[in-house]
Chain A
Amino acid sequence: MILDSVQKTATAVAGAAALLLVLAGCTGGSATSSSTPVDGGTLVYASGDAEPTCLDPHVGGNYPQALLSSQYIEELTALDDGKPVPALAKSWTTSDDGTTLTFTLRDDVTFTDGTPFDAAAVVANIEHVQDPATASSTGYLALQSITKATATDDHTVTLTLSRPDSALLESFSQPWVGMESPKALQRSQETNCESPVGTGPFEVTTWKHGDRVTLQKNSDYWGATAPRLDGITWRFLPDSTSRYAALQSGQVDVIDNAQPDQLKAASAKGSIRDLDAPRPGASNRLELNSGHGVFRDEAVRKAFIAGAEIDPGIKSLFLGTAKRSYSVLSSVEPYGYSDKSLFGYSPKKAKQLLDDAGWKVGSDGIREKDGQQLTVTFPVSTNQSVPAERSLFQQIQASEKAVGFKVVLKELDLSSWYAALAANQYDVVSAPYTKVGADVLRILYDSASITPAPSGYFANLAQLDDPELDDLLQRAAQTSDTSERGDLYERAQKIILSSGTVLPLYDQQNHFLVRSSVHGVQTTAVSTPWFGTAWIDR
């Protein structure tokens, strides 16, 4: 079964249920909601994320795909408190030099199309992710260190690596490298995209584009508890107001992308509860382009950071549902390092820094130097930013204006936003990145990540190019000694935070609103809800 540290949630639910039972026994009269699981019923999930273009998470690899595929595809490892634990793989060993990783697999698992889960299947999956024809982005990057995968016997897989990779076990807990039936993978990509085959508690029956995906229960699920729901209806409801209204009226049971005011309103009612599951990987942060434009100057960057008033906005816009972060990493990452002292709001300091850097205040309040205005371009992706966040950016814009920056907010659709980033038409940007493990720092801040892919996309938007940092991150990726890793990542984060290229805001907000009639919801390694143990009492 796939769990993460929110085994605690299951424990809490069980504990609460036990408590209720005891109370019911004591008071003897009052009806409590059913605390014993009920079989049957279809859960209706309404997603506000963009509809995936392919249900196979190997292809591309984004969060909407992860949300869905968590129900029907499972992974070799899972996470407990951020540490890898067995899932489809029973155990593993690493060679002394770190270049060989051997998995021993479970032998009691079958895919929903009848194909057995074995070493050959794992090899087929790894090859599928690494095949350029699959066009995998996220999975491909995660498995980059694997040069060869061999099935040494029916349930043993040996991976040959190009270098020691301590992040690999964490990476294998992600849905983007989940295990699919090799027989299904042999079909054309168009067919496999419509209904991929996995080992999970549910399987895909139909996909009506632009409307919904229908999942039905996998009666032969190998896990300790069989799924209780008959199925899941996964609807795509892009309009936030309508989505919440549908939840309120009981038309849907679970929604994602809940807005802060909806979270607040829901917590006031008894009938809806908030499942707060921050995504792993990077925190929600602003990155300053240190490779081009006005932010090449470190003093200007520090001035921008000092001139951004953030805390009052977070309080009033997020209504207490988001906490300010001073770390590059998400709060669920065990190696996170935080430094509040670097990010205090001080307009005086900002003005001083800018004066010293030669930027004089112009007639309209905007600073100038050598005939150029202190303009900061800030492209915002309307697909990835919730309204509260966009309002926060407007507040930052206002506080920066008081200090002399002219922040130009450009709201763009996703394609135009990526195009603007690829063309270096940005000075500051907020680009969420979800990945399990601190190795995300290497993806985001190693200088190698400034090199663009053929599409023009590159991940190191801060354009940090620091050899000492590169060295720390690469060494951390190769050592499996946890204390050494911890130390290396801490030093790396210290460098990143003091470079003035990152302004952390808060954890990647990942709130799900669940009706109180739904019980037993757990979360996965990438903080997606998992309904394998869920039940509904209507």
Chain B
Amino acid sequence: MSGIAEPSLQAGAQRDPSDGRSERFRGGTLGPAGTVAAVVVAVAVVAAVWPALLGGGDPLAVHPSDALLAPSGAHPFGTDESGRDVLARVVAGTRASLVVGVVATLVGGGVGIVLGVVAGLGGRVVDAVVGRITEVAFALPLLLVALVVIAVTGPGPVPAMLAVGFATAPGYARIVRGLVLRARSSQVVETAVVMGRSPGRIVLRHVLPAALWPVVAVGTLGIGQAIVWASALSYLGVGTPPPAPEWGAMLADGRTYLQTAPWMSTFPGLAIVVLATAVTVLGRAIRRTGALR
């Protein structure tokens, strides 16, 4: 069962102006929400690439004597049970979490796009076969797939990314297939067919772009989702190994100290929510500018 929400794309796709229905077509600007989101995402990318710039200290440096300190000037996010600075770990964890989210989405999106294009362009038989495959893939709950994949491969960030990616692929496949079908029967393509353009050219110039760009918008929502599912895997004990900072693992470990040191889980949790929200809002804003059509 896919971890992403396809109709949110459909909702966005309904904003295709050629249908005579447009909604808040801003024509090029991101708007206030989109701008804020863009800034947040930019900060996150900087944190991922150059953590030292944003948060002081070594995320792995252990100081047992400073364990479980509440947020203060010296440690704005407090310290964890081994005296490590939570701010440094949250900043350092940006890379791991972004990578997990992006890679899982790329894996899922990639596989999904291939399946969807094949289904949309192929004949009825091919479509039926691929349709059955995606239905089967949908029928298995994401965490079941992930747990079994990890039982086969062993735990770690890579299996987690692959597991989440494969589990989300059918969702992307379905969306892409729908988009390809619609593109095939659109006015533009019909005209091109009537005008005698070659099928290959039609596919490349009209069908694929119309089908693929909107997926980017869905993918942004998928990144947030992927980060959250990966954190669930850490909760279940099969995620990123210690002591590497990764928000999901930090959130899961911090739960043990929820009543005595709530800052240990609050800040990574906020980080997950803020980044996932920002990526989603940014994706929506980009879609609304109409830049992706």
Q: B-contacting residues of A (Cβ < 8 Å)?
A: 240-241, 244, 259, 261, 264-265, 312-313, 315-317, 382, 387-388, 390-391, 393-395, 397-399, 409-413, 416
Q: Which 10 A-B pairs have the closest CB atoms?
A: A312-B64, A316-B67, A398-B62, A382-B237, A316-B64, A387-B256, A261-B260, A394-B243, A313-B64, A395-B62
Interface string of B224-242 (1 = CB under 8 A from A): 0000000000000110011
CB nearest to A408 among chain B residues: B241
Are A411 and B241 also in contact (CB < 8 A) when A241-B255, A317-B82, A391-B82 are? yes
A448 to B67, CA, bound (A): 43
Determine if B82 and A313 form an interchain contact, defined as CB atoms under 8 angstroms apart.
Answer: yes
Residue B253 at the A interface, CB < 8 A? yes
Determine if A409 and B65 form an interchain contact, defined as CB atoms under 8 angstroms apart.
Answer: no
Determine if A261 and B257 form an interchain contact, defined as CB atoms under 8 angstroms apart.
Answer: yes
Determine if A394 and B82 form an interchain contact, defined as CB atoms under 8 angstroms apart.
Answer: yes
CB nearest to B150 among chain A residues: A413
A411 to B159, CA, bound (A): 14
Determine if B241 and A317 form an interchain contact, defined as CB atoms under 8 angstroms apart.
Answer: no
For B243, the chain A residues whose CB sits under 8 A away are 394, 397-398, 409
Determine if A413 and B64 form an interchain contact, defined as CB atoms under 8 angstroms apart.
Answer: no
Contact of A265 among B82, B83, B260 (CB under 8 A): B260
Distance between A30 CB and nearest chain B CB, rounded to angstroms: 31
Contact of B67 among A317, A399, A410 (CB under 8 A): A317
Are A413 and B238 also in contact (CB < 8 A) when A241-B256, A388-B81, A391-B82 are? yes
A393 to B62, CA, bound (A): 11
Q: A-contacting residues of B (Cβ < 8 Å)?
A: 60-62, 64-65, 67-68, 81-83, 151, 154-155, 237-238, 241-243, 253, 255-261
A259 to B254, CA, bound (A): 13
Contact of B258 among A241, A388, A416 (CB under 8 A): A241
Distance between A174 CB and nearest chain B CB, rounded to angstroms: 30
For B155, the chain A residues whose CB sits under 8 A away are 411-413
A311 to B227, CA, bound (A): 36
Determine if A265 and B259 form an interchain contact, defined as CB atoms under 8 angstroms apart.
Answer: yes
For B237, the chain A residues whose CB sits under 8 A away are 382, 411, 413
* 30 pairs, A vs B, C-beta closer than 8 Å: A241-B255, A241-B256, A241-B259, A244-B259, A259-B256, A261-B256, A261-B259, A264-B260, A316-B64, A316-B82, A317-B81, A382-B237, A387-B256, A388-B256, A390-B242, A394-B82, A395-B64, A397-B243, A398-B61, A398-B243, A409-B241, A409-B242, A409-B243, A410-B241, A411-B155, A411-B237, A412-B154, A413-B151, A413-B238, A416-B151
Determine if A391 and B81 form an interchain contact, defined as CB atoms under 8 angstroms apart.
Answer: yes
Distance between A246 CB and nearest chain B CB, rounded to angstroms: 13
A394 to B81, CA, bound (A): 11
For A317, the chain B residues whose CB sits under 8 A away are 64, 67, 81-82
CB nearest to B257 among chain A residues: A261
Distance between A170 CB and nearest chain B CB, rounded to angstroms: 35
Determine if B67 and A387 form an interchain contact, defined as CB atoms under 8 angstroms apart.
Answer: no
A393 to B258, CA, bound (A): 21
A390 to B253, CA, bound (A): 10
For B261, the chain A residues whose CB sits under 8 A away are 261
CB nearest to A397 among chain B residues: B243
Kindly list 6 other residue pairs between chains A and B, CB separation below 8 angstroms, not including A265-B259, A395-B82, A413-B155. A240-B256, A316-B82, A382-B237, A394-B82, A397-B243, A409-B243
Distance between B107 CB and nearest chain A CB, rounded to angstroms: 23
Distance between B210 CB and nearest chain A CB, rounded to angstroms: 46
Are A315 and B260 also in contact (CB < 8 A) when A391-B81, A412-B154 are? no
For A382, the chain B residues whose CB sits under 8 A away are 237
A317 to B253, CA, bound (A): 13
A259 to B243, CA, bound (A): 20
